[in-house]
Amino acid sequence: MPEHPSSVKSFDAKPHRSLFERLTALISPEPENRAELLDVLQDAHERNLIDADALSMIEGVFQVSDLSARDIMIPRSQMDMIDVTKPIEDWMPEVLSTAHSRFPAVDGERDKVIGILLAKDLLRYYAEESFDVRDMLRPAVFIPESKRLNVLLRDFRANRNHMAIVVDEYGGVAGLITIEDVLEQIVGDIEDEYDFDEEEDNILAIRDGDHGGRWRVKALTEIEQFNETLETALVDEDVDTIGGLVANHLGRVPRKGDEFTIDNVRFEVLRADARQVHVLLVEKLSESAQEES
């Protein structure tokens, strides 16, 4: 005798929730968007359920999906390249001094990137009499400025590639980005034995700074260096770095997306985690712009 439909157990139906579970859901609803989820994670950190490192990496994962290549790329003006039209002796000292593992190779002009040279391949220069650097080049990968970092990271892993050349809408070289740059958005700065604390890398001009201009500034930049480079007069006797100055100004740890003005300098937080701010976008305002803001 067939079972009555009402007696057949439905495996598709949602499990019945008790009155207590429904009341709990009303009092403490599940997060419905990313901001609410991050608030829950912040609360878990404050209650010592997760540590600061774990929270920082989770926030970094979210940030990677929000950022594009143009946000963290090394600008064209800061790129270390080799020109294959010149004798190896001309650019070998730069290879040795910078100690990078990979170099974009250009054919006479900075926009003519023809490949990537691995520093280890230069060992053959000392072992082979007929060494041609062009034969040593690996294919270069070109990506648009708008490419999302989460997509780029997936491509890096899938293709076992470590470097990409960022191009603008006209096909010109805008900068470069490495897998290390992307991973640092999640786990923080990765330093190896060849990384140096060079002050000139702390402040990178995004465009001409003679008329206002914008800069990408590391939060650990000394206030003195910041003032000297941007010709400003920011002062905070309690801290030494620009990150400490903006944290004191806000009265809390800065969050990604925070925008504020100190004197005639506008700041936007590009990267931060639960513990500290990492990178700032800085713009000098004219007096008229300052009055309007």
Within-domain flag for 5: no
8 Å CB contact between 215 and 203: yes
At 33 the pLDDT is: 75
Q: What are the contacts of 114-121 at 24+ separation with CB within 8 A?
A: 114/84, 114/140, 115/139, 115/140, 116/140, 116/163, 117/82, 119/95
Are residue 81 and residue 176 in the same domain, yes or no?
yes
Domain assignment of residue 145, given as a range: 69-187
Whether 10 shows a pLDDT value over 90: the answer reads no
Distance CA 218, CA 171 (A): 29
Whether 197 shows a pLDDT value over 90: the answer reads no
Q: What is the SS3 assignment for 185?
A: helix
Closest CA to 63 of 93, 34, 102: 34
Within-domain flag for 160: yes
Phi, psi of 20 (to 5 degrees): -65, -45
Whether 133 shows a pLDDT value over 70: the answer reads yes
Are residue 136 and residue 74 in the same domain, yes or no?
yes
Within-domain flag for 194: no
Within-domain flag for 48: no
8 Å CB contact between 213 and 206: yes
Are residue 93 and residue 169 in the same domain, yes or no?
yes
Task: Provide the CATH number for the domain around residue 253.
Answer: 3.30.465.10
Distance CA 204, CA 285 (A): 18
Are residue 166 and residue 241 in the same domain, yes or no?
no
Distance CA 293, CA 288 (A): 9
Give the residue-averaged pLDDT of 132-160.
92
8 Å CB contact between 189 and 220: no
DSSP code of residue 18: P
Number of independent structural domains in the chain: 2
Within-domain flag for 175: yes
Whether 51 shows a pLDDT value over 50: the answer reads yes
CA 204 to chain centre: 13
Whether 48 shows a pLDDT value over 70: the answer reads yes
Distance CA 282, CA 261 (A): 10
Are residue 163 and residue 206 in the same domain, yes or no?
no
Which of 132, 158, 187 represents a domain boundary (last residue)? 187
Are residue 153 and residue 213 in the same domain, yes or no?
no
* Percent of the residues in the chain that have a pLDDT greater than 90, as a whole number: 30
- Angle at the Cα of 155 from the Cα atoms of 145 and 123, rounded to 5 degrees: 95
Are residue 183 and residue 205 in the same domain, yes or no?
no
Q: In which residue are the tokens 């540590």 written?
A: 51
Which span out of 75-79, 102-106, 270-274, 278-282 was modeled with the highest average pLDDT? 102-106
Within-domain flag for 29: no
Give the residue-averaged pLDDT of 68-90.
89
Distance CA 279, CA 177 (A): 16
Are residue 166 and residue 80 in the same domain, yes or no?
yes
Query: Lowest mean pLDDT: which of 17-26, 113-122, 200-209?
Result: 17-26
Closest CA to 187 of 101, 280, 67, 273: 273
Contacts of 25 (CB under 8 A, 6+ apart): 17
Place 210 in a pLDDT band, splitting at 50, 70 and 90: very low
Better pLDDT: 91 or 13 = 91
Are residue 114 and residue 211 in the same domain, yes or no?
no
At 12 the pLDDT is: 44
Give the residue-averaged pLDDT of 248-274.
87
Distance CA 116, CA 119 (A): 10
Within-domain flag for 156: yes
At 14 the pLDDT is: 46
In the predicted model, what is the mean pLDDT of the chain?
80
Better pLDDT: 234 or 208 = 234
Within-domain flag for 130: yes
Which of 124, 156, 187 represents a domain boundary (last residue)? 187
At 198 the pLDDT is: 52
Whether 131 shows a pLDDT value over 50: the answer reads yes
